[in-house]
Amino acid sequence: MPIVAPSPSSASECALPSDREALFAREPLFAAIEARAGPLPWRSRPRGFAGILRTICGQQISNQAAGAIWRRLSALPDALTPEGLLTLDDATLCGTAGLSRPKASHARSLATACLDGTLDFDLLATLPDAQAIATLSAVRGLGPWTAEVHLIFAEGRRDIFPSGDIALANSARHLFAQETRPAPRALARMAEAWSPARSLAARLLWHHWRHETGRPLIEDP
């Protein structure tokens, strides 16, 4: 399954105009981010197994490290299919690709769930946001952050906000000039005001934090 990342394009081309209008009306500080940081790259990931596998690579590590692991993993023959991944041993997944042993275990749990029907992506697409998050989180090793990030980047959900993401918390602290980084529950409460465009708010906050920290945008192969 070849994975081709689309070229980044501006948020005005990819986000619904109604989402931008609603978000900027609720919080004008979001409207100024692109003037400083440039057009928002509209990143996406493939639906299904490969997309979640990419998100597993990014659990609790930097984007740069996750991108390096993903490049090695995606170069392995058949690694981006459930059947193919289950044929790979730890020497390959951990040694060659660079996954930690827990992440290799998470990847195998995901592959098994896809093959035994526990995780049905066609059904997932029909579920309300909260139920979709719960369904993905029920797979061992995924959890809410992995589910929410996948739903934003692979499923195109419009109103998802990963409140447990440290980069989002740091960005919100900086953008809103808060003294301390908001805890996940406090950040989730803040984000309630940005509904129904919380996914766009998350993308803009990540974009803002990349700009402020000087970190590069990581494009997947």
Residues 28-80 have pLDDT tens digits of 999 999 999 999 999 899 899 999 999 999 998 888 899 999 999 999 999 99
For 7, other C-beta atoms within 10 Å of its C-beta total 8
- Tell me the pTM: 0.88
What is the residue-averaged pLDDT of the chain? 90
Say how far apart CA 202 and CA 149 lie, in whole Å: 10
Tokens of 14: 């990819």
Task: Specify the CATH architecture of the domain 16-39+160-213.
Answer: Orthogonal Bundle (1.10)
CA separation for the pair 4, 1 (Å, rounded): 10
pLDDT value at position 37? 95
Q: Which residues contact 48 (CB under 8 A, 6 or more apart)?
A: 114, 121, 154
Distance separating alpha carbons of residues 47 and 154, to the nearest angstrom: 5
Burial of 149: CB neighbours in 10 Å, binned 0-12, 13-18, 19+: buried
In angstroms, the CA 59 to CA 181 distance is: 20
Yes or no: say if 11 and 204 are a contact pair by the CB < 8 Å rule: yes
CA-nearest of 7, 2, 14, 9 to 158 is 14
**Is 60 exceeded by the pLDDT of residue 109?**
yes
Domain ranges in the chain are 16-39+160-213, 49-153
- Mean pLDDT of the 161-172 span: 96
CATH 1.10.340.30 corresponds to the domain 49-153: yes
3-state DSSP assignment of residue 190:
helix
